[in-house]
Structure 1
Amino acid sequence: MKKLLLFTFISILGYTHVSAQEVQFGAKAGLNFASVFGDRTDNFETVTAFNYGVMAEIPISNVFSFQPEVLYSGQGYSFGDDTVALNYLNVPLMAKYYVIKGFSLEAGPQLGFLLNTNDDGLGIEDDFNTVDFGVNLGLGYKLDNGLNFSARYNIGLTDIDDVEGFSGTNKNGVFQVSVGYFFF
């Protein structure tokens, strides 16, 4: 069994070769449909905001790639006539598996840093944790000319609330659609 595992590992390494010319760099932008789920969120509604940033795609094999990104991401929620905007700098680290040419399944962790909040004067801007961790699951399609499309869902794993005396847990949930272009 050990010999089979060693042979498999060496075979994979034999097919794994990345040169600087194969790494692609690009930019992307799109829409977020975001909300918060957890305790006492029954009346929370989805907000629509923007995402934009840069990305790289690093081939690992013919069917696997690694795609790190740095994105500005508008998130938050609304309730009644009030909106709480949570603006993050997110760093998704996506693994991509190409099912067929151009079409990929994507998954990976994401680390987010809260840049600022806008709470429509509710006075809760200091009630949020500054770091958010989540997992992304999605689909992508890349054309030969570098144009690409993606849809993913970010499942928040970290309690975003930092409210003294609140024992509940609330987490981000963001559906994201994006269009991007790999320049080189």
Structure 2
Amino acid sequence: MKKLFLGAAVAMSTLTFAQQFGVKAGMNVSSLSKDASMDDAKSKIGFNAGVFMNAPLAENFSIQPELLYSQMGNKATTTSTSTIGGSTITTKTSGSTNLDYVTLPVMFQYNATPAFYLEAGPEFGLMVSGKSKGDRVTTTTTSGGTSSSTSASASVDIKDNLNTFNFGLGLGAGYYFTPNVGITARYVAGLTDIAKDRPSGSDSVKNNVFQVGLAYKF
């Protein structure tokens, strides 16, 4: 029994000694799984940045919890046309859903080589900001061919209507050019609906994000 406790103590001290800390930052390419209100939903560019700790679990396996600030959401457009009194009215709306989170990914990494690893694990997120921004341009064309346009912009805080907790599953890889500097890539598929009160029978909307960036170990 003493040998068992002694071995556990040695293992724990080795794990603590082998821990590495670092910082990382990069680009997010995010989207929402479904947005029926928009005809042409597109990915939105954002950023992620934060800190991490990497600790070995076995010879080729390690665990890496992270604390990141991560921008998600999407961009989209709608176009509608109507005819009133011989004039054609075209309304084009372009907007973005901007969802900012503090996330806690916990990645389990398989070190295929000393420099290259594969990873998978859960990601927990807490929304800190949720806004919808849009621009609307209305063009009126008369039967004689004369046209005129008006435009308007708006920004609405939508955080109160959204689920502030986000849960996803991440898959990724990384390569360290040196013992300290590496490149990382990860895709996180959201598993929770972003809406707080989803009407019965309607489809859920989930965050999806591809991340690429640089990491530096101290």
Give the TM-score category using the shorter length.
Answer: 0.7 to 0.9
Output the CA distance in 2 between the equivalents of 1:154 and 1:106.
11
Q: Say whether residues 1:44 and 2:79 are aligned partners.
A: no
Q: 2:194 aligns with which of 146, 150, 160?
A: 160
Q: 2:112 aligns with which of 82, 99, 103?
A: 99
Q: 1:133 aligns with which of 167, 180, 183?
A: 167
Instruction: Name which one, 1 or 2, has greater alpha-carbon Rg.
Output: 2
Within 5 A, what are the aligned runs for 1:82-121?
A: 82-120=95-133, 121=155
1:7-53 superposed Cα distances (whole Å, 9 cap, x missing partner) = xxxxxx9xx66332210000000000001003626632100001000
Q: Which runs of 5 or more residues in structure 2 are unaligned?
A: 1-7, 78-93, 134-154
Q: Which amino acid counterpart does residue 211 of structure 2 have in structure 1?
A: Q
* % same residue: 37
CA shift, 1:117, in A, is: 1.4
Counterparts in 2 of 1:100 and 1:155: CA distance versus 1, 3 Å: same
Structure 1 stretches of 4+ with a deviation exceeding 6 A read: none
> Structure 1 stretch 52-61 or stretch 142-151: which is displaced more?
142-151
TM-score (norm 1): 0.84
Q: Which runs of 5 or more residues in structure 1 are unaligned?
A: 1-12
* Corresponding residue pairs, total: 169
Equivalent in the alignment of 1:63:
60
Q: Which amino acid counterpart does residue 107 of structure 1 have in structure 2?
A: A
CA RMSD, Structure 1 to Structure 2 (Å): 2.0
Q: Which amino acid counterpart does residue 104 of structure 2 have in structure 1?
A: V
Structure 1 or 2: larger strand share? Answer: 2
Counterparts in 2 of 1:69 and 1:42: CA distance versus 1, 3 Å: farther
The answer on whether the counterparts of 2:131 and 2:157 sit within 8 Å (CA) in structure 1 is: no
1:151-176 superposed Cα distances (whole Å, 9 cap, x missing partner) = 01000000111245363201111000
